[in-house]
Amino acid sequence: MSLYECKFDEVLTNIEKVRLRVNQHQIIKIIAVSKSVGSSEISNMYDIGQRAFGENRIQDLKSKVETLNKLPIEWHFIGRLQTNKINALIDLNPSLMHSCSSLKMAQEIDKRLEVKGKTMSVLLQINSAYEDQKAGVLPEDAIKVYDEILSTCKNIKLKGVMSIGAHSDDKALIRKSFKITHNIFTQLQTQGAKYCSMGMSSDYELAVECGSNMLRIGSTFFK
């Protein structure tokens, strides 16, 4: 068994343990966050069956998309997006953009999609840990902003919400931030929200316990 198979099996087993306990009818999607590795590592991970990969910089995404263009990889963008990089992101046809952090950003993306005659699937990022260094809308504004994006951004296919768990060693704090996001996600399901993207290497089991159905896991796979 390759190193990647071992790691992958270990993570899947951990996820399944929690999922079977809390969420038996939930399919959980894993995004392998490949920001710290090159194309050959991605290719190795592809060979054991992983199809969805996440990047947080447009430049890296672009070069990996180009290098690996023969493989039917589903690319996710998970990082901060500067306005001057929006066109570049659209041109890369990401499968899902996780990190739309404001109504203004959604409208900027929508404007450029309109010009290009394209659409993009997007998640609204929620700053459920109330941390200054994190991007995203505050929980109390999330539903209103989500509805405004739905009604004003015709070229955006809004698919749900994304959060980064609280930056803390205190599990209770992290759990609290995940629960806030999941609660908003539940309220948005009538508006078509399908994905609740939360959980990384350090907290994915907790995220599954709190109802995540999309995990973004990097260092655990690739270190």
Ligand X SMILES: *Cc1c(COP(=O)(O)O)cnc(C)c1O
Binding site for ligand X (CB under 6 A): 33, 35, 56, 78-79, 164, 200-202, 216-220
Residue 185 structure tokens: 């996600």
54 vs 211, beta carbon nearer ligand X: 54
33 vs 188, beta carbon nearer ligand X: 33
211 vs 218, beta carbon nearer ligand X: 218
Residues 6+ apart with CB under 8 A from 28: 15, 19, 208, 212, 213, 214, 215
46 vs 221, beta carbon nearer ligand X: 221
CB of residue 138 to ligand X, shortest distance in Å: 18
What length does the chain have? 223
CB of residue 33 to ligand X, shortest distance in Å: 4
The beta-carbon contacts of 51-54 under 8 Å, at least 24 apart in sequence, are: 52/76, 52/95, 54/78, 54/98, 54/216, 54/218
Name the one residue in this structure whose structure tokens are 């001057």: 84
CB of residue 208 to ligand X, shortest distance in Å: 14
CB of residue 115 to ligand X, shortest distance in Å: 28
Helices (H) then strands (E): counts for the chain: 9, 8
- Closest residue to ligand X, based on beta-carbon distance: 218
